[in-house]
Structure 1
Amino acid sequence: MAQESLYMRLVGEWTAMMQRGVLQPGQKMPSVRKACEQYQVSPATILSAYRLLEERGLVEARPQSGFYVRAQTRLPLPHMRRQSGTVATGDEVLDNIELVLAAQQQPGYLDLSMASPRGSDFYPTSRLKSILGKLTREQPELATDYSYPPGSLALREQVARRALAWGVALTADDIVTTNGCTEALQLALRTVCKHGDTIGLESPTYFLLLPLLKSLGLKVIEIPTHPTTGLSLDALELLLSEGRLNAIVAMPTVHNPLGATMPLENKKRLAALVNEHQVPLIEDCPHADLFYGQLTPDAVKAFDRDGYVLLCGSFNKTLAPGFRTGWIAPGRYRRELTRLKFASSLSQPRLLEETLASYLQDGAYDQHLRFLRRHYQSQMSRLQDVVANYFPPGTRATSPTGGCVLWVELPGEADSLALSRAAYAEKMLLVPGALYSPRGRYRNCIRLSCCYPWSDAYERGLQRVAELAAGN
């Protein structure tokens, strides 16, 4: 077995032992020599495992002594509201979203909330630049040719190959490439809905869905969503049985903003429900490849019997946000969606699609994803520690299964809108919880992000937000 597989197996085994209490905080880990004898592996393998555990905040190295299990400071899960109601998207929420997006463009602001990784720490920029240059030299026509729907065949073949890791069997013909996941969502909604229809939406949800739904004239029913198991299927089943929904939008794998991943049995039940009631599910998975485990969980689409699940993904969070390349597997709606894509934006940038396809073909993506998952998991652990140690008593937070965002619930009658304004006055960008609900719920919540290089300025900013929250 490869060294990487060996040390990852050890990391998984020791992490599980810590979670079960077999390894207690303060307990010394086996010495490198003893661990080598016990597991019959090399010192390099043991050291690699210990270093990864250290990056994740699970062990600490003590000079001249060895590695010790760290005490984990974790907060209880948030209290999630359980109301549902049918409303049009509120203008107040949309106004606040516009303010947040405008603030992100301001120079000199410290961004603590947006899930928009920046810098070469997170992307294989050099490799993509090399491929782009080579393709431009050898196939200059790629810079001038249109890539009409359904998009680059080479890229669609790679997407289909990678979908197998999500338990989904697709061919290139099942896929349409798009301008990011946002266009995939828009095309899906325009394909399966008409003006005045009602959408079932997780609550809280990705806040940029709200202006999109508003622009399409769609109404929303907020469905309770648990911070570990995701969308409430009992609530959804009741709504479906009453015929109140025309479509559903959900993030079952690495939810934004909760970080939850729906258990496999729940995904099977969700697929069965939408097929039974013939109500389309738009499965939004932009963060799925950032799941912290070694294997990405199966998508709901893997259990889709009759094609009612439209699966959306992109490479914006993992490879190249500037390329704005996404994709959708629309199931039974493929023909209508492909025509709509042609009428909406005509084509894709062929040179960029071929660059991504070439990168995916050479096998480097899996190695890059392993690095990215470890990096985010380590940074998430540090972020959780800062929140636990500095935020006011009574603060609660999620325990994400992947990705880079943490949902934080402040105690009492805290007002995250006021908190975000106070942070903005000190040149810090903070997204209030009210933006993640059409009705402006979750006013005592904020979303934090760890998708930036960890720095003293970033940590000081988090501590300052904690001070502001304490005085809010």
Structure 2
Amino acid sequence: MTAAAPRYQSLADDLGHAIRSGRLPAGAALPSLRDCAAQRALSLNTVTAAYRLLEDRGLIVARPQSGFYVRSALPEPRQSLRSAPSQAIGSAQDDLLALVLEARRQPDCLELALACPRGRSFYPGERLARLTHTVLTRQAGVASGYALPPGSLRLREQIALRGQRLGMTLAADDIELTHGATEALQLALRAVARPGDGIGIEAPAYFNLYPLLASLGLKAIEIPTHPRHGLDLDAVERLLEQRQLAALVAMPTVHNPLGCTMPPAAKQRLADLVARHGVPLIEDLVYAELQFADPPEPAVKAFDRDGWVLACSGFSKTLAPDYRVGWLAAGRFAPAVRRLKFASSGAEPLLLGEAVGLYLESGGYAHHLKHLRRLCEAQVATVRGLVADHFPAGTCATQPTGGFLLWIELPAAVDSAALFQAALRERIVILPGRVYSKGTRYRHCIRLSCGQAIDTRFVAAMRTLGRIAHGLARRRPVKQAGARQRRRGTDQA
């Protein structure tokens, strides 16, 4: 007679069958340890052992301070596509981005393209409105005079205080308030580079970097970026040794669009490299406070000893999109940044700076961020599950370390520009991968925003995208250009 299986194993087998049969779909939350124990009349130790066994089997994943979830069967991309041949496409990148921006203005479209979360769950609008009114009431002259750089002292003190969470040692006087993180990037570039200079950027890179660099007469030099580990530091070191870079722009913490975060040791190496070569690094931290890990990973700025790292961020992704409050800690370049800011746009409105500063000072921001990180993590897991369920075989998607963006690599036959056009006819707006490079290497990739309510309309849209992608995947792949043309395209991209 065969001995009965241990209770924990029986529970693990039961839950495993539910996962494999689809009764517990990818991204679904399991009951908490205590709830499961109560529901099944088992001890807490038995349920804990069963969940550990399911983790070992690769069926569930534990998320800190959130619980246990069914692991998505969707694979992650395994390497950077930067080394893949890529034909240069000239102005097609700008033209495609213009189409995306125009499409998202159409009525009744489901907007899955830009990183603009929607809904009351993402922003504390009512609380911030009350605090803005409080500032107007208590500081009667705040709207009747001109603000001066560097902006609200209250807010700068709070930014410096919060910087400690990312390992940064900042003082209020180190920080310049800006009109969003985009102006911070622009001011930093103007302070460290001159027209004609080469600027190292990640590949794929935040799409708005390309027009920004072009407007300043700067040349984008794409650097391979791994979908899990981030910037290829060996490639960075080679470019620095060859003196090809006047500066670097990077998002080492919760990268856009990949969602990856470089390990702390790699960040320290990056800080050491730019200091040794005397080449400034502009570190974009706009998603850093949306890391799922707690405590969060440090910024590269945490390892900066000589002021070669210019850290910038803002509150548009976490607190108040339309307030357009950003900031820049420019290190040794702070005096130049302050002069450029005053000459170009004066100073940021004191009203908005004081309102955001008051919100941070009240302690509400920490509580809001805790909620927002959990929400984003759950949203990303759910969307990964929908991609796994509905997109064609061979699809990969990143496993973000924070934020609400998902980078998806489709089978090679799928042209994401064609997917964009077909989806638009269904009133769905997505972001094609071609806007993330001057070349075509990301033609089969898309980026989706998970920052909206995942309701029946959203689920139906994911089914529709999957159906269109299945149809495109059945087409014959586009023939590659000749070797000489491929090499030329790679050089130009």
4+ residue stretches of structure 1 with deviation over 6 A? Answer: 21-24, 36-39, 52-57, 84-89
Residue 483 of structure 2 aligns with which residue?
A: none
Greater CA deviation, 85-94 or 422-431?
85-94
> Are 2:44 and 1:35 equivalent residues in the alignment?
yes
1:204-243 equivalence runs, <5 A? 204-243=204-243
1:101-120 equivalence runs, <5 A? 101-120=101-120
Partner Cα separation in structure 2 for residue 229 and residue 24 of structure 1: 32
Greater CA deviation, 261-270 or 418-427?
418-427
Residue 319 of structure 2 aligns with which residue?
A: 319
Residue 3 of structure 2 aligns with which residue?
A: none
Deviations 1:343-372 (A, max 9, x none): 111111110110000000011111111100
Alignment check: 8 A CA contact 1:176 1:328 kept: yes
CA RMSD of aligned residues (A): 2.7
Partner Cα separation in structure 2 for residue 82 and residue 297 of structure 1: 26
Partner Cα separation in structure 1 for residue 326 and residue 269 of structure 2: 27
Alignment check: 8 A CA contact 1:83 1:223 kept: no
Change (3 A) 1:22 1:218: farther
TM-score, normalized by length of structure 1?
0.86
Q: Which runs of 5+ in 1 are unaligned?
A: 1-20, 40-51, 60-69
Change (3 A) 1:100 1:71: closer
Residue 163 of structure 1 aligns with which residue?
A: 163
1:58 pairs, out of 42, 65, 68, with 68
Alignment check: 8 A CA contact 1:310 1:328 kept: yes
1:254-273 equivalence runs, <5 A? 254-273=254-273
Deviations 1:151-189 (A, max 9, x none): 111110000000000000000010000000000000001
Alignment check: 8 A CA contact 1:145 1:350 kept: no
Q: CA deviation at 1:26?
A: 5.5
1:124-143 equivalence runs, <5 A? 124-143=124-143
One-letter amino acid of the counterpart of residue 296, structure 1: P
Alignment check: 8 A CA contact 1:78 1:398 kept: no
Aligned length: 431
One-letter amino acid of the counterpart of residue 409, structure 1: E
Q: CA deviation at 1:55?
A: 11
> Are 2:77 and 1:77 equivalent residues in the alignment?
yes
Partner Cα separation in structure 1 for residue 63 and residue 305 of structure 2: 41
Q: CA deviation at 1:143?
A: 1.7
Residue 122 of structure 1 aligns with which residue?
A: 122
Partner-residue secondary structure (3-state), 1:140: coil
Residue 196 of structure 1 aligns with which residue?
A: 196
Q: CA deviation at 1:312?
A: 0.5
Partner-residue secondary structure (3-state), 2:141: helix
Deviations 1:307-349 (A, max 9, x none): 1100011011000001000000000000001000001111111
One-letter amino acid of the counterpart of residue 103, structure 1: A
Partner-residue secondary structure (3-state), 1:141: coil
One-letter amino acid of the counterpart of residue 133, structure 1: H
Partner Cα separation in structure 2 for residue 434 and residue 212 of structure 1: 17
Change (3 A) 1:88 1:446: closer
Partner Cα separation in structure 2 for residue 88 and residue 283 of structure 1: 27
Partner-residue secondary structure (3-state), 1:200: strand
Partner Cα separation in structure 1 for residue 451 and residue 441 of structure 2: 25
Partner-residue secondary structure (3-state), 1:223: strand
> Are 2:424 and 1:414 equivalent residues in the alignment?
no
Partner Cα separation in structure 1 for residue 89 and residue 363 of structure 2: 43
Residue 380 of structure 1 aligns with which residue?
A: 380
Partner-residue secondary structure (3-state), 1:142: coil
Alignment check: 8 A CA contact 2:89 2:440 kept: no
Partner Cα separation in structure 1 for residue 176 and residue 84 of structure 2: 34
Alignment check: 8 A CA contact 2:176 2:338 kept: yes
Change (3 A) 1:233 1:54: closer
Alignment check: 8 A CA contact 2:248 2:282 kept: yes
> Are 2:368 and 1:368 equivalent residues in the alignment?
yes
Greater CA deviation, 129-138 or 376-385?
129-138
Partner Cα separation in structure 2 for residue 248 and residue 24 of structure 1: 48
Alignment check: 8 A CA contact 1:227 1:260 kept: yes
Q: Which runs of 5+ in 2 are unaligned?
A: 1-11, 19-30, 49-61, 473-493
Q: CA deviation at 1:433?
A: 0.4
Partner Cα separation in structure 2 for residue 120 and residue 215 of structure 1: 35
Alignment check: 8 A CA contact 1:89 1:210 kept: no
Q: CA deviation at 1:81?
A: 1.5
> Are 2:179 and 1:179 equivalent residues in the alignment?
yes
Residue 301 of structure 2 aligns with which residue?
A: 301
